[in-house]
Structures are given as C-alpha cells and as structure tokens.
Structure 1
Amino acid sequence: MTTYHPPPGLRRVESSRDGVRINALVGGDGPPILLLHGYPQTSAMWHRVAPELIAAGHTVVLADLRGYGDSDKPADTPSHTTYGKRVMAADQVALMRSLGFARFAVVGHDRGARVAHRMALDSPERVRCVAVLDVVPTLHMFDNVDRAMASSYFHWFFLALESDLPERLILADTDAWLRSRFAGRHAGGAPFDEGAMAEYVRCFDPATVRASCADYRAAAGIDLVHDRGDRERGRVIEAPLLALWGTHSYVGRSFDVPDVWRSYARHVDAAPIEADHYLCEEAPHEVARALASFCRPTESGGTR
C-alpha cells in the first residue's frame, strides 16, 4: 500500500486556539512562509514546493486547516461561524505566533487562498505579503455565477446545501468522491504523487467530510457577510499580493485574474502557470520560483 512520507527535514508542531488543535510541519531557516492547502487536500499538497522554498532560504510552515488533515474538526454551529474564514484565519495566526513569527508571508491554494485573503484583511499587522493560487475572491465568484461556473464548480452549491444530504452521499463512497475532484483537472505536467493522494484519502474521514461541508456552507453564508461588509467600507488588502493561476483551469479560462484582484487588493502582481487547478503539484518548480522571489523580504522588511 502506498504511504505518504513528508519531505525530509520537517518537524511536526501543534498549536491550540479556543480548544481547537492545529497540526503543522515546520522546516528551513529564514523568512517564514505559511502554506495553506485547499479542498479536498491537506498540507501534503506542498510536498514538491516546500523543499524548493527551504532551499531558497525560507522557513516553511505547512499547516492543516481546521476541519482537514490532522487538525481538529469541531462540530459546526447553525450559523457556520465555526468554519468561517475569519475563524480559520485566526487559527493560523495563532499557530504562527506560537512559533515566534510576528510577521510572515502567507500562501494559499483554493480554500487556503480564501483563508489567506481573510487573514490579510483581519490581521494586516501580521501578514507581510500574501499569495493566492488559482482563485478569484469568493464574493466575485458568487456575484458572477453563470452556467459554466455552476457546471465547473457545482460542488460549491452541493456541499453548501443546508441538510445532511451532501455528507450522506459522499460517505457512501468517499474514495470515489475525493478522486473525482482531481479527475480531468490536469494539463499534462508532473503527475499527481500516489503517496500524497494516499494521504488525502487517509485524511478524508467522516469528520473531515462533515467539516468540509461546513467550510462551504460558511463560504456561502457568513463569509459573504464579511466580504460584503468590506466592500461597502472600501476595505482592501494593503499587503503586496501575488496571484498565480493555472492557464488551463476554470479560473484561468474564465477571468482576467489580475484585474479582478485589483478590486480587492492595493498592490497586485500576477503570473500564469502552465497547469490546471493543482498547479503546485503539476508545475511545482515554476510555482516555487515565483513564491521564493515574491516572498523575499525587502531590506527594510522585518519578519519576526
């Protein structure tokens, strides 16, 4: 049976906030970068990128979001605030503080990018710079729903249903559902690593299924409340932002990614990556190079 082995040189750490334990791996030496995964993955998705960032002189923190991987999966509340991006971002700020990092770069892919977006708004004193991978903001997605979006991202609406139907159907065959999220989303680059895939399968247990549905319910509810409030107040990300996207992904095909982010962030750099949605696994060298360059501090920029 294939087993996942994390990159060498990483040590496991934990932090706790309000009784919710967050699991992470830490390695390297230098300016810190927090790496946040997407759905339905875990921190294992960074297995090809993290070693290159370490080699480039960074400390990397590969964290499991609450509800995913080996982090805790608390019961949801009727308002879904338990899995709101505000709460999920606060978990990760507490993790970095526990490691001694007062300021840091944060990089998020997919769901992790939505947590990073919220973190940059709520904790600007902590976030030195932010990179978002293959997303446009949640509010922009919901404000621009069409047939193509509803077809490509049908899981947004399915997982957010206010019933236990999504959980019941997914739990009938979790392996098939998980693997369906990767099928057809590859543009011919590096293949998915079977060890990492085995780790996603291992962690996609009933508690994760329920928590991840709560994550999407929050995105369609409380997260939009927070996002609309920011828009009404003219509040945008002040930290430098890098947007990377897969040229073959739905996001890359459907949006002018830099232009969209310029409505949500003050300073935007952007670059396409020859890949589909899972660009960190399909084109890790290109992603790592872009992140290492963008996340390098300026002469005046402190990191701790």
Structure 2
Amino acid sequence: MSLPLPASFTRRSVDADGVPIHCVVGGSGPPVLLLHGYPQTHAIWHHVAPALAEDHTVVLADLRGYGDSGKPAPSPGDAEYAKRTMARDQVLVMRSLGFERFAVAGHDRGGRVGHRLALDVPEAVSALAVLDIVPTRHAFAHADREFGLGYYHWFFLAAGGGIPERLIGADPEFWITARMRARHHGGTPFDPAAVAEYVRCFDEAAIAASCSDYRAAAGLDLTHDEEDAGRAVLPPVLALWGEHSFVGRTYDVLRVWQDYAGDVRGQALPCDHYLPEEQPEQVTAALRGFFRSNG
C-alpha cells in the first residue's frame, strides 16, 4: 500500500555502497531532499511534497533501516546506523540523481541525519531545515527527569540484549500508533493510509534497524558529535518545532541551534511533534520561503 502522489512522481531505488535506498522523485527546479523520522517513512511528506514540487525537484527518501530501503543487520557498535553512515547514503542518492548541491529538510531522525550531512559535506548542502529537534549532543547533555519521562523511548530503544526488539515485535502496530497518538495536538489528523504504510514497513528488520539507530545515537553519534564540538554548521538553518511538543515546551530552540550553526532562524507551529502531517500548509510555506531565499 502506498499514498497517492502526482503522476509526475516516480519511485526509484539507488544503490548506496551496497544498500538500496528507496526514494520518490517529482517536480522540477532546485533540488530538495526530504528526510523522515521514527517510526515513519518518506510518506510523512505526502501533504508537503506535491506543493513543494511546484517549484522544486523534490526527493523523498526512506532512510536506511526504514520504509522500503535496505535494512542491514546491525553489528556491535551500530556503525551501520550511525548518522554519518546514513548521511552518506543520502549524498550518494542525490549524486546518483545528478545533484551535487541541494537543500535538506529533516524531521526527527531525518533532522539528525541532515545535521550530520551538513557537518560532513557542507559543500553539498545549500540550506538545512530541522523539524522538532535540538542537536543530539545537547539533548543528552541536558537530560533530566522530564527528558527521561518525555523521551523514554530514547533509552528503551537503545537498550541491549534484544529487549526492545522482542517487546515491540510482539505488537508493532500498537507501538507505532500509540507513539503517534501521544505526540499529536490539533491540526490535520493522521491519514489512515499513511499510518498503514508505517505499519507495513515496520517489519522485524526495521525494528532491529531502528533500535540500532537509537543505540548509535547514544554511542557512536555522540563520539562524532564530541569530535565536532564547537564546529558550526555552515549552511543556513531553519528550525521549526511544535509549540505543544516536548522540544517546544522544554528548550529555547533557536538559542540552542545558535550554538551549533552560524545562520539560524525559525518558529514554533501550532502542533505537537509531527509537523509535516499536523500543519502541512504552514510547513510548506516556511520551507518554500526558506529555500527560495537560500537556493
């Protein structure tokens, strides 16, 4: 099952050093790469992408381990799901499509991949939009009781011994829908077809991969982030967040990002965590204006 997109959108599979990365491409104009978060797929952009495609070439990619992209088995250390590895996938995808330089918008985990991409390959990124996140390094450095309760899944998913894999695998549909219901506040309801797509793609391999993604965030990603401490993101950054989300209620989002990037702007939107689905028109308007001024 898949969500309908305009006929001009085409599905492709790009080999990224042996890992097939699934993407959907449509529109024409300056290229924009859209990256999703957990536990979703490229389908989170189904409202936003057709509008952006009116004046951009839009690439909606499934991160490795998610959607219909390849899901390598995790190994000790979780290097397969380090954000550096996941970011390199997306550079290879865009180069394969003929784009050496492009804008990036990432929600949730996709925002963390975009952040790493902008640090590792700044010459490839014309502009970076990060949706409802603060940098991983900042989040862990300021973790407290509220963080542990609000973002308990960061620690649960990073647990070893196969514990989260076994428990989530017992009822993955409940896990996905419960997480999404708990982080939605007003705005557009979730499209049942989108939710069904997330559930379809969340198979045993995806569960294992996504747990490795979170283990990497608490391990190898932090090592990379510490190595880059004090090095600012060079491309301009747009931060969008939900005023009702944990991020919006907990952090001074712009101030935090100003410690990690030189050119930062942004705003809160009237929603919770899933901005592209809850407030697609406002997300589209903000991204379009940002990308046009930083093409």
Tell me the CA shift for residue 80 of structure 1.
0.8
2:84 maps to a residue whose letter is R
Tell me the CA shift for residue 181 of structure 1.
1.0
User: 2-side partners of 1:190 and 1:40: how far apart?
Assistant: 19
Q: 1:103 aligns with which of 78, 101, 104?
A: 101
2:216 maps to a residue whose letter is A
Q: Which runs of 5+ in 2 are unaligned?
A: none
Aligned to 2:292: 296
Aligned to 1:272: 268
User: 1-side partners of 2:140 and 2:31: how far apart?
Assistant: 33
1:37 maps to a residue whose letter is H
User: 2-side partners of 1:12 and 1:158: how far apart?
Assistant: 34
Q: Is the counterpart of residue 37 in structure 1 residue 33 in structure 2?
A: no
Aligned to 1:188: 186
Tell me the CA shift for residue 4 of structure 1.
3.2
Aligned to 1:14: 13
Aligned to 2:128: 130
Give the fraction of aligned pairs with identical amino acids, expressed as a percent: 59
The alignment partner of 2:123 has SS state of coil
- Superposition RMSD on alpha carbons, in Å? 0.9
Q: Which runs of 5+ in 1 are unaligned?
A: none
| CA pair 297-13 structure 1, distance change in 2 beyond 3 A | farther
1:180 maps to a residue whose letter is A
Aligned to 2:92: 94
Q: Is the counterpart of residue 263 in structure 1 residue 259 in structure 2?
A: yes
Q: Is the counterpart of residue 52 in structure 1 residue 48 in structure 2?
A: no
Q: How many residues align?
A: 294
User: 2-side partners of 1:4 and 1:194: how far apart?
Assistant: 11
User: 2-side partners of 1:239 and 1:142: how far apart?
Assistant: 24
Larger mean CA deviation between 119-128 and 182-191 belongs to 182-191
The alignment partner of 2:134 has SS state of coil
Aligned to 1:252: 248
2:213 maps to a residue whose letter is D
The alignment partner of 1:272 has SS state of strand
2:218 maps to a residue whose letter is A
Aligned to 1:282: 278
Q: Is the 8 A contact 2:3 2:46 kept in 1?
A: no
Q: Is the 8 A contact 1:31 1:297 kept in 2?
A: no
User: 1-side partners of 2:223 and 2:30: how far apart?
Assistant: 34
The alignment partner of 2:133 has SS state of coil
